[in-house]
Chain A
């Protein structure tokens, strides 16, 4: 089971927007379900059958198998040998595994907030009506369409190498630090930069949320003489908090799954000195280069559990900061 998700923008968006509608302000009540005939149900399932078959054979089946593999020693060729919890104890004793957890955690903690802040800031600029706004929206959304691609990561590698744009730029300011790609302490920030640059998807969602904030709230605040900051803090933020919550959730989960950019920016080494050894990169390396599929499966399941826990904590924290409107304002 290797959930290596490299493209996010397109198909996810529809779902995102649907979810925004569900969780956003102005939630509508559904019409009461009417009784349906048996035949109609059957037709429904028939139409769903490609998806159901795909889910069973391509997702559920392999997942169950990988859960089994997580407790075995499996080199892809010989049949799996049951080893109990050995893969997990090996993992905790493995300094490279700990490194991969550290790198991924750092990436999630640094990258996600900056990306969301950038997305919100740009969304607020674009929410104002002005000439050419659809052009700007498209322009700011574009990086997240191409950002997940291999070519953007290759360009990124070129930008941050010795004597390339970034290095020259910092030399202008008298910083002679060299390129970031070869520097174990800096390369992770190049990756963070790459993900921040792809703020388009959360931006569109923020934009949708901002449009839903009732104008009369701002008008009332203006009458009271509130500052721009005050309006942002007391009106905008609470009003879009369901959207913000959704974006935090999605981007956090997505950050945990980083693979493509780390792999390509480091030229497939996830280095230097394991500085970009993100969790999935190590998982891939152990599974496919070192033929330790059992170990890799165990890693994958632990990631699933970890992401599940983080999601649960986020949902639990909702009570404290997400404002849903119940029964009108």
Chain B
């Protein structure tokens, strides 16, 4: 650095003075940006894969065209990463203005005053609450506060590889039982040589249905809705099925993540949300369809309508614009034509009628939702207690570890309840 050595102290101070002046100018330049009549910018974040991001961004462009005074900045991650980021942002007082949300997170963030009550905005006319199907507008109302507006409804379902099921000669119809299902799995294993199921015993929402078929539920409003006595036999039987090859090899399932085991041909069936089946057709080579959830008594599936929703955050400086954006996303017919059934069957009649599915997976979802609605098997759902998201993640992880042979069912069950207790207490 020979040049610096030649510079004396006065020159240096001059230089410092200039830089300081430069900083001041920059600061002044920033200050003029926040005029009251300029466009308002809100931030919208969601979780999901790339194809959802493309669709949402298309909707956002449309929204900005119709509302030139509102700009929407977008951001998205995969599900677990989304919540880590949101949690940190919310704790730091700088969450996005509008987020995609689910029932698991309502109480958690309501208790922390993170979510915006949208009722006042509805009264002011910024948010339209008419025209929702089947009372869905009340879906996210807790203690008189409207904490979210559903964009679509979905239900837990069984997605199957149609070709494998056909070749194996396994029939499925509404009201079939778990015994029928397991007999089918054995038939698929012996006949087709592959696992019939990706491994369902870590899926919290499926176990919730199994419990509901027996008059219980995964969560009560305050805590856990079941005990070790219920989970131990469930996981013991599951481990036996993993060992028998009826459930997919967890080692292989781990490696193809985040792709699904069903789409990659590691199994012939998977319990998941019905709107995900759109994704399987894009990811996999076979043809996929939706089958009814097996039952305990031949009647009750335990299913309910789940829903993705849009929520505002309480610290937003632009609640009116937030409400306008949510209203647009839930009612505008053009949005429905772009989004399709990506976030479930549209929640408003306007959007429901605007999108007529033409592709096979979407048609199947529409038919599935109609079928279970007609069968009258749907039950109401209560918002999960705070910390439910952590419990859900632990359930999935511990079940997976057990499948890998790392722990006995007894130890796994104990570990799960110990983690669940901590999660519900500390959130």
Instruction: Name the contact of B255 in the complex, choosing from A75, A181, A288 (C-beta under 8 A).
Output: A181
List chain B residues, Cβ under 8 A from A274.
Answer: 401, 406
Query: CB of B121 within 8 A of chain A?
Result: no
Instruction: Name the contact of A95 in the complex, choosing from B112, B258, B415 (C-beta under 8 A).
Output: B415
Instruction: Name the contact of B406 in the complex, choosing from A184, A290, A291 (C-beta under 8 A).
Output: A184
- Indicate whether A184 sits within 8 Å of B255 (C-beta atoms), given known contacts A290-B426, A291-B427: no
Instruction: Name the contact of A73 in the complex, choosing from B90, B252, B426 (C-beta under 8 A).
Output: B426
Query: CB of B317 within 8 A of chain A?
Result: no
Query: CB of A161 within 8 A of chain B?
Result: yes
Cβ contact within 8 Å between A162 and B255: yes
Query: CB of A183 within 8 A of chain B?
Result: yes
| Contacts between chains A and B (CB distance < 8 A), count | 77
Kindly report which residue of chain B lies nearest to residue A40, judged by CB atoms.
B9
In the bound assembly, the distance between CA atoms of A116 and B258 in angstroms comes to 35
Q: Which of A100-108, A253-261, A265-273 contacts B (4 or more CB under 8 A)?
A: A265-273
Cβ contact within 8 Å between A183 and B397: no
Instruction: Name the contact of B87 in the complex, choosing from A178, A181, A268, A288 (C-beta under 8 A).
Output: A288
- Indicate whether A272 sits within 8 Å of B251 (C-beta atoms), given known contacts A76-B87, A184-B404, A184-B406: yes
In the bound assembly, the distance between CA atoms of A271 and B202 in angstroms comes to 15
Query: CB of B250 within 8 A of chain A?
Result: yes
Cβ contact within 8 Å between A291 and B250: no
Kindly report which residue of chain B lies nearest to residue A187, judged by CB atoms.
B254
Query: CB of B400 within 8 A of chain A?
Result: yes
Query: CB of A227 within 8 A of chain B?
Result: no
In the bound assembly, the distance between CA atoms of A323 and B184 in angstroms comes to 72
Cβ contact within 8 Å between B404 and A272: yes
Interface centre among A43, A179, A183, A291 (most CB of B within 10 A): A291
Contact count band on A:
20 to 34
Interface string of A266-289 (1 = CB under 8 A from B): 011101111000000000000011
- Indicate whether A288 sits within 8 Å of B84 (C-beta atoms), given known contacts A162-B255, A271-B254: yes
Cβ contact within 8 Å between A183 and B81: no
Query: CB of B382 within 8 A of chain A?
Result: no
Kindly report which residue of chain B lies nearest to residue A284, judged by CB atoms.
B84
Cβ contact within 8 Å between B400 and A271: yes
Query: CB of B381 within 8 A of chain A?
Result: no
Interface string of B58-90 (1 = CB under 8 A from A): 000000000000000000001011011001101
Kindly report which residue of chain B lies nearest to residue A266, judged by CB atoms.
B254
In the bound assembly, the distance between CA atoms of A76 and B112 in angstroms comes to 10
Question: Which B residues from 370 to 427 make CB contacts under 8 A with A?
Answer: 390, 393, 397, 400-401, 404, 406, 415, 422-423, 426-427
In the bound assembly, the distance between CA atoms of A305 and B67 in angstroms comes to 56
Instruction: Name the contact of A162 in the complex, choosing from B252, B258, B426, B427 (C-beta under 8 A).
Output: B252
Cβ contact within 8 Å between B254 and A272: yes
Instruction: Name the contact of A182 in the complex, choosing from B78, B251, B258, B401 (C-beta under 8 A).
Output: B251
In the bound assembly, the distance between CA atoms of A162 and B423 in angstroms comes to 35
Cβ contact within 8 Å between B255 and A179: yes
Cβ contact within 8 Å between A178 and B390: no
Query: CB of B183 within 8 A of chain A?
Result: no
In the bound assembly, the distance between CA atoms of A293 and B250 in angstroms comes to 32
Query: CB of A216 within 8 A of chain B?
Result: no
Cβ contact within 8 Å between A268 and B406: no
Interface string of A183-210 (1 = CB under 8 A from B): 1100000000000000000000000000
Cβ contact within 8 Å between B401 and A272: yes
List chain A residues, Cβ under 8 A from B250.
Answer: 182, 272
List chain B residues, Cβ under 8 A from A162.
Answer: 252, 255-256
Interface centre among A162, A272, A289 (most CB of B within 10 A): A272
Question: Which B residues from 84 to 111 make CB contacts under 8 A with A?
Answer: 84, 87-88, 90-91
Cβ contact within 8 Å between B91 and A268: no
Instruction: Name the contact of B88 in the complex, choosing from A43, A95, A288 (C-beta under 8 A).
Output: A288
Cβ contact within 8 Å between B9 and A43: yes
In the bound assembly, the distance between CA atoms of A291 and B88 in angstroms comes to 9
List chain A residues, Cβ under 8 A from B251.
Answer: 178, 182-183, 272
**Closest-CB distance, A90 to chain B (whole angstroms):** 8
Which positions in A face B, CB cutoff 8 Å? 43, 73, 75-78, 95, 161-162, 178-179, 181-184, 267-269, 271-274, 288-292
22 contacts between A and B (CB under 8 A): A43-B9, A73-B426, A76-B87, A76-B88, A162-B252, A178-B252, A179-B255, A181-B255, A182-B250, A268-B80, A269-B257, A271-B400, A272-B254, A272-B404, A273-B400, A274-B406, A288-B84, A289-B83, A289-B84, A289-B87, A289-B393, A292-B422
Q: A181-B255, A184-B406, A272-B404 are in contact. List 6 more A-B contacts (CB 8 A).
A: A43-B9, A77-B90, A269-B257, A273-B401, A290-B427, A291-B427
